[in-house]
Structure 1
Amino acid sequence: MITRRALTRARTTAVPVLAVVLLALTWGRSLPTVVVVVLCGVLAAAVLAAVHHAEVVAHRVGEPFGSLVLAVAVTVIEVALIVTLMLDGGAKSATLARDTVFAAVMITCNGVLGMSLLVASLRHRTAVFNAEGTGAALATVATLATLSLVLPAFTTSEPGAQFSGVQLTFAALSSLILYGLFVTTQTVRHRDYFLPVTRQGEVITFEAHAQRPSARTAWISLALLLLALVGVIGIAKGVSPAIETGVQAAGLHHAVVGVIIAMLVLLPETIAALRAARRDRVQTSLNLALGSAMASIGLTIPAVALASVWLSGPLVLGLGPAHMLLLLLTVVVASLTVAPGRATPLQGGVHLVIFAAYLELAINP
């Protein structure tokens, strides 16, 4: 008799392979509506498979390394997608990196963070986390976002919201240094700041009720996680023309396409964060949310800085006034949310309203 666990293992093994095969068969082709629908179904299944394998790896290595694995894996592939699209050229590529990174920041710091706090606080009355580690992550995200997305709008060396070559190099190096410092702090020097805590404030170093998977199982899951993420990002790129056509037919602003693609890309982390919140592991959820935002900036800016050597068009990184205001509001509200080390449904709702405001501006700028 086939057990439920065996069926889950078979499904989560087959889906990443299927996603990559379909990606190879459809890459660079004009897709009919039926194929787009099928790809969207496979995309959803690949997201669920990615979350499953990320949780297996996370259980093997423990926190905060588990959250870091998923955040970095998704971001590396996201960066590859951005650079590929930028190298394709076109007028839209000038703001592609800025729009994608800002969408990732708003989705993670308001959407994922807000939903995680809301789920945990509704289920357990309050959401409890480590304010020291979360505050350090938030400070790093705020610094990276300001240096990379706000400062270009105020420099005068280049016309428009652009960095000069020297300024772009400084931003890229600063992003790498800050990201490297944070990862060292998170995984080596102050690892306990980023571990889940009990309601009495005690750090949870391991899950006593669950057996850790073997090293072989973890390596297989890591390989399947990467396959699933390649499939997710590639299929998302493949269906993006159909999404863009639908957005244009609905009379919506083009920025909505970037938001939809960013949501698809970040869906594995979103599901993983919500599952952790349901288990009252809010710190894991915040590690995923803020770690993803940080990795998105810290890896994307250096990558596009390097790609700009081969790009003929401008690279616009500076945000407009409305988005700067939303970023400022996000940082201020998140600081007030993080400081006490616990949150109620109110804080989760506030972040979700800010996220809704961002979506409304994307639809109706």
Structure 2
Amino acid sequence: MKTIELSRRNALKVIAGSSALLAAPAILSRSYAQEGGFSVGIPGGYEKAFQTAFLDPYEQEFGIKPTPILAGTSTVEIKAQVETGKFFYDVRFSVAATGNEVLAEAGLLERIDDIDSEDVQAIYGALPEAQRRPTFLPHGLSAQVIAFQDHLDFKDYADIWDVENLPGARALRGQGKDTIEAALRSMGKRPSETASFLANEDGWKQVFARLDEIKDHVTNWWEEDSDITRLLGAREVDVTAFPHHRAMAAVQSGARIKYNYSQSMTTALGWVIPKNSPQAEAGRKFIAFCSRPDRIADFTMDVPMGPMHPDVMALLDPAFAVALPTHPNNVENIESEDVAFWHKNQGQANERFKEWLLG
């Protein structure tokens, strides 16, 4: 599969107004449209699974070849495209629920909850009403797990902080939200307690004091999921917290790591369409196709997110399904992130974190 890469650095150049970067993707998008095609933004590490489960079957059924664009996790890419009118991709896969809140509030996304598809509506119908968003269709649930080399044993987040009894190279995400949540877990706080704990300045001070305890023992502040997956596989890092589906996929690929769902916080990942995307209708049709239970099941076998469609679990091997966060055996160990809190506070959390990290 030939995948066009859109890196975080390039996205920042778009914001800065780089005419060269703006022109080339616009030409590519027009070319796709002339051929009846469209482009799909996907995160790194999903390329092979996405091709097998979605792109190839779509081309076989409709005779249209979607073009994959390798995208980062930052919402800045979508913001840049909408504001400049230069679109790198027409539909975006695997945006976090908090990212959707930011983009939707700014009016940067198309409505997709009215897609005429039984499968799309089945996914929306299975969600609690408070979690339904008109611009966001969840395709999978990602749970933060504690992942570590197979000769070690980390039972919870407090163990990550226990550098005296459990020595080794730590890695934490170089981003405020996830690392602050990790610190809170190590303090025994649940995701549902995040908002109340950080309701005043004293709570923030306690979190960063907790991070002070481990800062000198962190050998890598990673940003992209694919980066930490590689570091774990190369045994350059002993323990971290990162998405369960990346851990499961790494194990399937031969990485000698273990992981557990202790104190696990979940994030919904889903589809969005950038506002005024020139191929929005094609994107809606593609989302409907990719929401079929058999397509989700195929993708889940390679990228094992917790499926959101209620009919998918029955299509999976029971021995495989039991390891997913949405399996009945695991739901008691997971808890959803506070999307409303992080929508309002992620900006200040990142600023505080950057200042602390550089201090």
Mark yes or no: TM-score above 0.5: no
- If asked which structure has higher relative contact order (CA below 8 Å, sep 6+), I would say 1
More helix by share: 1
